[in-house]
């Protein structure tokens, strides 16, 4: 049941909800009506596009949405956020406020997903103490693999070997970068676009995190670890039928960047 309800006192019969419905399941009689409930994407465009707040769907009260007029960040702020974000590799060992982590995850959950499947799973390490234990577990497993000559050949083996050496010789955490928190996105293999959805969710999380003063780093090392420690995904509670998206370490930065970097121009291929 999608609970599509029109407040007829507010509805001005403009037809915007029917016009914007990507599934084409709203028709205008006198007032909007649903022609095919099963075809609904549950995207809530009807609720979002109504100029009068007359549409409720999925039990959502339109008055509980954030109004958009005059409320969007300006382009200059967005540009500074995007250009000013850096991969953070130095963290304070203070835990983030759990409410802030929940807020960031909730916002990241607004990222688009193919066919609006909304099936991304956010696997998160919310406490530094848990992270500490995980770090020990992972480094113990990697050390064992190294001792048994079982680290893979090639670049992954080299990086992981260096991480084991750095941990053993200098207490340096090249895997998680000393971050107190970790996020891994995954999605069911049979979702319409699991690879894309998981990466878009992490990208969204990352930008919002930086807007709130939280540092992040995309963590390819963790992905390599997941590749060589087959039991680790299950240990983290990631369902076996999920495609792993990517990992991101995060936490309160112990470094401040004072200016943007200056990248070379974008490589652009113009189609004529
Ligand atoms: C897919 C991906 C994987 C990455 N893996 C790691 C990693 O394992 N460890 C690390 O310190 N940085 C990692 N990075 C960060 C990149 O090295 C970083 O984005 C790049 O050097 C540019 O720096 P910036 O992000 O500060 O602009 C990764 C970035 C991406 C996009």
The tens-digit pLDDT sequence of the chain (272 residues) is 999 999 999 999 999 999 999 999 999 989 999 999 999 999 999 999 999 999 999 999 999 999 999 999 999 999 999 999 999 999 999 999 999 999 999 999 999 999 999 999 999 999 999 999 999 999 999 999 999 999 999 999 999 999 999 999 999 999 999 999 999 999 999 999 999 999 999 999 999 999 999 999 999 999 999 999 989 999 999 999 999 999 999 999 999 999 999 999 999 999 99
Listed residues 13, 34, 64: the one ending a domain: 64
Report how far ligand 1's centroid is from the alpha carbon of 119 (Å).
Answer: 26
Report how far ligand 1's centroid is from the alpha carbon of 250 (Å).
Answer: 13
Q: Is residue 17, in this structure, part of any structural domain at all?
A: yes
Number of domains in the chain: 2
210 close to ligand 1 (CB < 6 Angstrom): no
Q: Is residue 71, in this structure, part of any structural domain at all?
A: no
- 171-186 core/surface letters (b: 16 or more CB in 10 A; e: else): eebbbbbbbbbbbbbb
Looking at the fold, whether 96 and 27 belong to one and the same domain comes out as no
Nearest CA to ligand 1 atom 5: 220
pLDDT at position 230, please? 86
pLDDT at position 256, please? 98
Report how far ligand 1's centroid is from the alpha carbon of 136 (Å).
Answer: 23
CATH code of the domain in which 120 resides: 3.40.109.10
Looking at the fold, whether 119 and 98 belong to one and the same domain comes out as yes
Burial of 251 (0-12, 13-18, 19+ CB in 10 A): buried
Tokens 């049979």 locate to 190
Q: Is residue 261, in this structure, part of any structural domain at all?
A: no
Looking at the fold, whether 132 and 212 belong to one and the same domain comes out as yes
pLDDT at position 120, please? 98
Residue 183: closest CA among 99, 248, 107, 121: 248
Looking at the fold, whether 118 and 12 belong to one and the same domain comes out as no
Q: Is residue 221, in this structure, part of any structural domain at all?
A: yes
Tokens 């470094």 locate to 255
260 close to ligand 1 (CB < 6 Angstrom): no
Reduce the secondary structure of the chain to three states and give it as a string.
Answer: CCCCEECCCCCCCCCHHHHHCCCCCEEECCCEEECCHHHCCCCCHHHHHCCCCCEEECCECHHHCCCCCCCCCCHHHHHHHHHHCCECCCECCCCCCHHHHHHHHHHHCCCCCHHHCCCCEEEEECCHHHHHHHHHHHHHHHHHHHHCCCCCCHHHHHHHHHHHHHHHHHCCCCCCCCCCEEEEEEEECCCCCHHHHHHHHHHHHHHHHHHCCCEEEECHHHHHHHHHCCCHHHHCCCCCCEEEEEEEEEECECCCCCCCCCCCCCCCCCCC
Looking at the fold, whether 86 and 115 belong to one and the same domain comes out as yes
Pocket probe mutation, ligand 1, options 217, 225, 250, 255, max atoms within 8 Å of Cβ:
217
Beta-carbon contacts of 97 under 8 Å, excluding residues fewer than 6 positions away, are none
177 close to ligand 1 (CB < 6 Angstrom): yes
218 close to ligand 1 (CB < 6 Angstrom): yes
Nearest CA to ligand 1 atom 10: 219
Pocket probe mutation, ligand 1, options 81, 82, 220, 249, max atoms within 8 Å of Cβ:
220
Looking at the fold, whether 52 and 83 belong to one and the same domain comes out as no
Looking at the fold, whether 112 and 226 belong to one and the same domain comes out as yes
CATH code of the domain in which 16 resides: 3.30.70.20
Which domain covers residue 29, as residue numbers?
Answer: 5-64
Listed residues 18, 33, 64: the one ending a domain: 64
Looking at the fold, whether 57 and 87 belong to one and the same domain comes out as no
Looking at the fold, whether 50 and 125 belong to one and the same domain comes out as no
126 close to ligand 1 (CB < 6 Angstrom): no
217 close to ligand 1 (CB < 6 Angstrom): yes
pLDDT at position 176, please? 98
pLDDT at position 220, please? 98
Looking at the fold, whether 14 and 98 belong to one and the same domain comes out as no
Looking at the fold, whether 120 and 199 belong to one and the same domain comes out as yes
Q: Is residue 257, in this structure, part of any structural domain at all?
A: no
Q: Are 97 and 222 in contact (CB under 8 A)?
A: no
15 close to ligand 1 (CB < 6 Angstrom): no
- 67-101 core/surface letters (b: 16 or more CB in 10 A; e: else): eeeeeeeeeeeeeeeeeebbebbebbeebbeeeeb
Q: Are 122 and 197 in contact (CB under 8 A)?
A: no
Q: Is residue 84, in this structure, part of any structural domain at all?
A: yes
Looking at the fold, whether 105 and 220 belong to one and the same domain comes out as yes
């Amino acid at each position: 049941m999608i609970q599509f309800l029109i407040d007829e006192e507010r509805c001005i019969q403009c037809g915007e909800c029917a016009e914007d419905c990507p599934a084409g399941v709203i028709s205008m009689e006198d007032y909007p009506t649903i022609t095919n409930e099963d075809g609904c994407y549950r995207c809530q465009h009807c609720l979002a596009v109504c100029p009068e707040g007359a549409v409720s769907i999925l039990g959502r009260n339109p008055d509980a949405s954030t109004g958009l007029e005059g409320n969007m960040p300006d382009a200059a702020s967005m540009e500074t956020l995007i250009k000013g974000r850096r991969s953070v590799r130095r963290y304070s060992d203070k835990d983030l406020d759990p409410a802030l982590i929940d807020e960031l995850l909730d916002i990241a959950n607004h990222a688009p997903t193919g066919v609006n499947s909304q099936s991304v799973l956010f696997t998160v390490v919310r406490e530094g103490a848990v992270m500490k234990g995980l770090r020990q577990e992972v480094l113990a497993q990697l050390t064992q693999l190294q001792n048994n000559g079982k680290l893979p050949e090639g670049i992954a083996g080299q990086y992981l070997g260096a991480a084991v050496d750095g941990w053993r010789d200098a207490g340096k955490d090249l895997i998680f970068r000393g971050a107190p928190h970790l996020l891994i996105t995954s999605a069911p293999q049979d979702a319409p676009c699991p690879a894309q959805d998981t990466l878009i969710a992490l990208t969204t999380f990352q930008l919002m995190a930086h807007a709130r003063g939280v540092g992040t780093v995309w963590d390819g090392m963790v992905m390599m670890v997941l590749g060589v420690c087959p039991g680790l995904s299950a240990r983290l509670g990631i369902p076996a039928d999920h495609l792993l998206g990517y990992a991101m370490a995060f936490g309160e930065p112990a470094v401040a960047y004072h200016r943007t970097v200056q990248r070379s121009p974008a490589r652009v291929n113009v189609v004529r």
